[in-house]
Amino acid sequence: MLGFITKFLSKENITASPSYNRWLIPPAALCVHLCIGMAYGFSVFWKPLGKVVLGLNGKPAAACAAGAKTFADKLGGTAQALFATDCNWTQFDLGWMYTLFFVVLGCSAALWGGWLESSGPRKAGLVATLCWCGGLLISAYGVYAHQLWLMWLGSGLIGGIGLGLGYISPVSTLIKWFPDRRGMATGMAIMGFGGGAMIGSPLAIMLMKHFSTATEQGIWQTFVTLAIVYTIFMLIGSLSYRVPPSGWIPANWTPPFKAVNSMIASHHVHLKNAHKTPQFWLLWLVLCMNVSASIGIIGAAAPMLQETFGGALISQPHISFADIKKDEALTATAAAVGAGFVGLISLFNIFGRIAWASSSDKLGRKKTYFIFFVLGAILYVAVSNFAGSKSLALFVASFCIIASMYGGGFATIPAYLADMFGTQFVGAIHGRLLTAWSTAGILGPVVVNYMHDVRLESGVAFADVYAPIFYVLAGMLIVGFFANFLVKPVAYQYYMTKAELAVEKKIAHENPSTDLLKATTSTKKGLQPLAVFAWLLVLIPISYGVWSTIQKAAILFS
């Protein structure tokens, strides 16, 4: 039995025939990414989780950190909340799980990226399934037993490992199946990660409503249900992964020679040498700045819109956000508009991933990032003026474009790495580069939230809080611009020789004798029933998520 499983999971067993339909791979990747992308949507659980424990009067008990005002006091309350069963958790307590998601994602992708390259995407995808869905089950028990440390361990740590492996598992495979459309291929998959919350959040809300009772929030039951659904989808995706034969290229396509495009490598850089090149660290800074400049402000999108425009959001331009806070009905109306803004941003984030990444196949990766940094910096300066003049439409439109470039940056970076370092170790190199995401996940929100709170505490009006924050974020994009400007082709000294490449291909269970430039195949034409089913399997939930999000965003235009 063990021998059968080992053979079933081996990379040799998932090497496809030359005529395999490569369009079956993107929906397999989407099956995995749409599930792990729910990490973005975990905030829907914060409010319900904050009132799980009821007091003697039947109302939610006090928080473990009740009365805490300083950061040190909040940390002390969180330490108490880790094991306490008689007090409720705060958003500060639960938010650390969100931080763990993306810190562990980057670290696990960096640690096990090399293993993924040699073992293949199927094995990595299955491990990701076990970690992500197993983490949800541990978290479900954590909610049932009211143990915060189990939530951190289950979804934060173990689930974070699943995020890292699941995120990078299809990347190098897609790049090898689509050497002619690297950006489009990775954009389709990584679009799924951005869209996971768009599907999972309304589903989770619906499940919690279904399972809730007078004394039960229905959260642990929702976690169990999501774990079952995600296990099915992630198994389908992971077991559908196939890798192309070594040297495979699409029919009627000629690989670009270095003489034609010097920004696309014609050789491969070993994983152990990638971080020794200036290109790796420049691209690390490119990703870090692009994400840092957006992730903090996107995370605060709803309150930012409400604080900046106040009564203008609810057809009462003469009142400020401070006035709105005093009235529960006005607060609820403004919050609904803020939620619509978040929905609109999420749509542009998702579809920006496929649109910008696909465009990069024509424009080139460097030019695409040039647009991100120049246009992004201009827009951040502009939104500061739009906020001052209360130009709501221009303000919203600017952030929709910024969100699209935020998503596009994630989707374009794997293709950029393949252009620079070749495809042999692109998945592992991408895994190491994702530590930039981990760094940005801390840097961006800390800068935005710190400046926001300091300015409010100093007496600045709500409407004027964000103007200098926008300028700081524009400055981050300027740093990214110069890093991208300095990216040049990798020096020849870092390329592997043919003999070294043959050894690595053998280690990776590939046939090292095939010459990449001479390999040609035909691909099956027309619609195949299996391909149609595979795409419907992912497009139906995506359509559900898009429709749910559009309904929320519609309030902005009502």
Sorted by sequence, the CB contacts under 8 Å of residue 103 that are 6+ apart come out as 160, 438, 441, 442
Q: How far is CA 247 from the centre of its chain?
A: 31
Q: What is the structure's pLDDT at 300? A: 80
Tell me if 21-51+78-248+514-551 shares its fold with 290-490: yes
**Position of tokens 């424990």?**
53
Q: What is the structure's pLDDT at 521? A: 47
Q: Check: CB of residue 429 under 8 Å from CB of residue 113.
A: yes
CATH H-level superfamily of 21-51+78-248+514-551: MFS general substrate transporter like domains (1.20.1250.20)
Q: For 181-191, what is the mean pLDDT? A: 90
User: Per the structure block, which two tokens stand in for 338?
Assistant: 């803020």
Q: What is the structure's pLDDT at 519? A: 42
**Position of tokens 């009627």?**
252
Q: How far apart are CA 218 and CA 200, in angstroms?
A: 16
Max Cα–Cα distance, the chain, nearest Å: 77
Q: How far apart are CA 527 and CA 254, in angstroms?
A: 25
Q: How far apart are CA 58 and CA 98, in angstroms?
A: 29
Q: What is the structure's pLDDT at 171? A: 87
Q: Check: CB of residue 432 under 8 Å from CB of residue 109.
A: yes
Q: Check: CB of residue 477 under 8 Å from CB of residue 380.
A: yes
CA distances in angstroms from 190 to 29, 30, 128, 347, 447, listed in the order given? 8, 8, 16, 14, 26
- List the chain domain ranges: 21-51+78-248+514-551, 290-490
Q: What percent of the chain has pLDDT over 70?
A: 94
End-to-end CA distance of the chain: 61
**pLDDT band at residue 210 under the 50/70/90 scheme:** very high
**pLDDT band at residue 261 under the 50/70/90 scheme:** low
* Higher pLDDT among residues 388 and 355, named by residue: 355
Q: What does the DSSP 8-state code read for residue 530?
A: H
Pick the CATH number of 290-490 from 1.20.1250.20, 3.10.20.30, 3.20.20.70, 1.10.357.10: 1.20.1250.20
- Give this prediction's pTM: 0.88
- 525 sits in the region (left: phi over 0; alpha: psi -120 to 50; else beta) called beta
Residues 112-138 pLDDT 10s: 998 998 889 999 999 999 999 999 999
